[in-house]
């Protein structure tokens, strides 16, 4: 009985060790060009807003940046 236990535990250990080795992928070299998504450039969604809404949006972004920086409450 102890021999059977050792045989089964050895086989399980072999499977645990060998399985990740067979599933490993070959490493790839990453470059900045490879990280840029392919596709058409995205249009600016704010370019068609009226000028007063563009100004309001810029003010909102400025206020949020100042709050995040701790310059405003």
Q: Report the distance separating Cα 29 and Cα 50, nearest Å.
A: 46
- What's the farthest any 2 CA atoms get from each other in the chain? 84
pLDDT in tens, 19-62: 666 566 788 888 988 888 788 888 988 889 999 999 999 999 99
SS3 content of the chain, % helix, strand, coil (to 5): 60, 0, 40
Reported as half-sphere exposure (CB side, CA atoms, 13 A), residue 34 has a value of: 4
What is this structure's pTM?
0.42
CA-wise closest residue to 18 among 7, 10, 30 = 10
pLDDT band at 4, cuts 50/70/90? confident
Question: Residue 38: what pLDDT?
Answer: 83
Which of the listed ranges 13-17, 29-33, 39-43, 63-67 does the model predict with the highest average pLDDT?
A: 63-67
């Amino acid at each position: 009985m102890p021999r059977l236990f050792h045989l089964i535990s050895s086989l399980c250990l072999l499977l645990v060790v060998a399985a990740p080795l067979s599933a490993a992928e070959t490493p790839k070299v990453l470059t900045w060009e490879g990280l840029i998504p392919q596709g058409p450039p995205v249009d600016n969604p704010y370019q068609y807003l009226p000028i007063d809404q563009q100004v309001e949006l810029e003010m909102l972004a400025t206020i949020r940046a100042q709050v995040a920086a701790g310059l405003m409450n």
